[in-house]
Each structure stands twice: as C-alpha cells, then as structure tokens.
Structure 1
C-alpha cells in the first residue's frame, strides 16, 4: 500500500520512510509544499501522514482540501502541545493524531490498525494457496498433500502465511512478533520460537519441514518449493 508522508523535516521524513519500507509499504514525500494536492492526486495513496506545521499552508488546510475530495485515512503529527490541535484534527476528519516525539512502533501499529479497519485487507487476502506441492487453506488452517493433511493452530497458520508472502526472503523475528501483535494475537519472543518449531514439526509430517529455514540471528525463511 502507498503512504504519502507530508512532512517538511527531511530528517524525520527519511526516518519514517526507512521504517515504513521495512514493512513493505510504498512511501512518498512532497517536493513542492505549495502543490500538495497535485502531488496527492498523482500518487493516490491509501494513507496520509501529515504534519501540522508546514511551509506555505498548515496541515489543517491540506486536510480540508483532501477531505473535500477523498476519505483516505489521515494521521496527523504535531510537535505542539495544544489540545485544540487534536480536537481540530478530529473535526476535520483525521483518523488519528500522534504527538512528537513518538515511538515508531506506535506509529506502525496505528497505521496497520487503520489500514486493516478501512481496507479490511486481512479478509481480502487469498485464503487458498499452493506451495511445495501442497494446498494450504488458511481459512480452515489446513495444509494438504495428496497423501496427508495437517491442521495448524491460528498462530501457526498466520506465521506460515507471513513467511509465504515473502518467499525466499528472511522475515525477522521482530517483524513476525509485530504482525502477530497487530493482529491482536499477543505473543512473546519465546512463544514465537515454540510456534515456529511446532509449525515445522507438523510440516515434517507431510514432508514440508525442510522448506522452512531458521536464519540464526535474523529470522525465518520459506523456500520456494514446487508450485
């Protein structure tokens, strides 16, 4: 999904962009703060992060302009400690408000919660997938081959889905924990290890355990297998 960050502090923008790219979002900034609407229309983002204090016109102005044509989710950022700013943001139709300085984990969690609520992307994802000669029914949490089937727990199925969405690429332990947490499945580092080991053991039963690799100190990787 595309996220437009309307922030004139280049250092903060670059840090936000770096963090969001780690979560596979497309991130765009504004080159000309007098032509925000033109750039917004060109990008057509799924979510906007906007600072209140900007050159030319403030974030409230651009929020009004955007809301006149779109209901795209908007998160306000502000370094000002004025309750009226939050009230104004909500009145203008913002979806959330974050005061600087903020923790990036909080920003990521808010972005994911808003996108999940607005676009319902978890429910829209394909529920049937083929991998390594097996058929995976994520709705039923079942993995089947011609010879046998196994049933996964919801956490195991969620982890497998995350790994398969980035086949042949390492998914870090931190990313898995964040995604499980954001999906309201509260999980610790030790619990993640238990779930992954249990997932691999179940996959071993149908000859697929070798396709999940542990990358020590990094995370986990699902190999391509035979489609």
Structure 2
C-alpha cells in the first residue's frame, strides 16, 4: 500500500504538475535514499569498485537524459510538484527497504503477489472515497485494452518479479543503483526498435552506464 498505492499516486500527480523532464531528475533521488537507508537500517556498505560503478552509472544517466520541451515551461505549482515527487520517491525507497529482510527469507512469487494484492486493496479504498470517484470516470471504448493488458503483464507483473528478485539476491544498495540504468536501456531499445538516432552524448552515456554496471557486478562490498 505504501510503495505502490500511495507512492505511485503521488508520483503521477507530480508528473502532471512538473512534466517528464523534471520528474526524471527527481527520480534520481531513489538510489541515494536506498543507499542511505541501507546503511542505517540494513548495515549495508559498498566496496571501492561499487562506488566507482555508482558514479559511472549516475554520470551515464545524466548524459543520456536530454532536457525535453517540458523544461522550457514554468509549472503553475512547481514547489508543490517537487515536494510531491520527492515524497513519492522517498516512499518507494522506504517500502523496498522495509521488505528487504523478508524478501531474503520468503518465496519471491509469494511476496510479489502479496505486494500487488496490497496495492489493489489500497486503490480500492481510495476509489471508495467520494472525492476520488470522479477520477475513475473514463471512456471504456477509447481504451486500448489488449495493449494495456500486455503492458501490465510484462511491464508490471513480470518486471516486478525481476525487480524484487534483484533486492532478494543482492544488497538493496546495489539493486537500487542498477535500477538507475533503466533510462539508458530505454534509449538503447528506442534506437534498435524505433530507429531513433543515438547521438554522441547518448552513446557516451550508454557506455559509461554499462561500464558502471560491470563495476557493480564485479565489485564486492566490504564485510
């Protein structure tokens, strides 16, 4: 309920307020927050090679990210959007750190199912509120149901199994840093499948990110 129902709702709200560009920057708070909470509550730490990987991945993501047109606009409620986005990212980080030890000892598919069930239950409670009912009105004929169902299966169901599996089989700090590479994979897939151009800056960012991933995978955290 905390990591999906509340956090995702706040995230989409902030996305409407700020646009994709600014939310992409705010999203970079996720891995530092997991690093900090992993150190405070899970006794985790990174080795030298993993710290190098952290900085390489971060630099690569910055190079790949291009300021889109949304950056040229001035949101009407910029401060509210920034605070909402930061709270959303913080709740995501808190939620995954809370279940890290449970993930290590319980079946992965069971935890994923329980997480999704909690999210659905939380959304059902939100939908029951009178103030929220207006937000659930939509034109069913205009919704591309097959595409949404396939996207939900692969982009939410299977990817969540893999995402939680990363936190189950490695430290929360390492998994959070590797998650930062998502934007780089997006650029690579867009270049391969959509034939979008991959400029020098993006190419350099991709190379730095993958180099950082190698450092993260090969490095070992100190005992």
* TM-score normalised per structure 2: 0.29
* TM-score normalised per structure 1: 0.29
Larger radius of gyration: 1
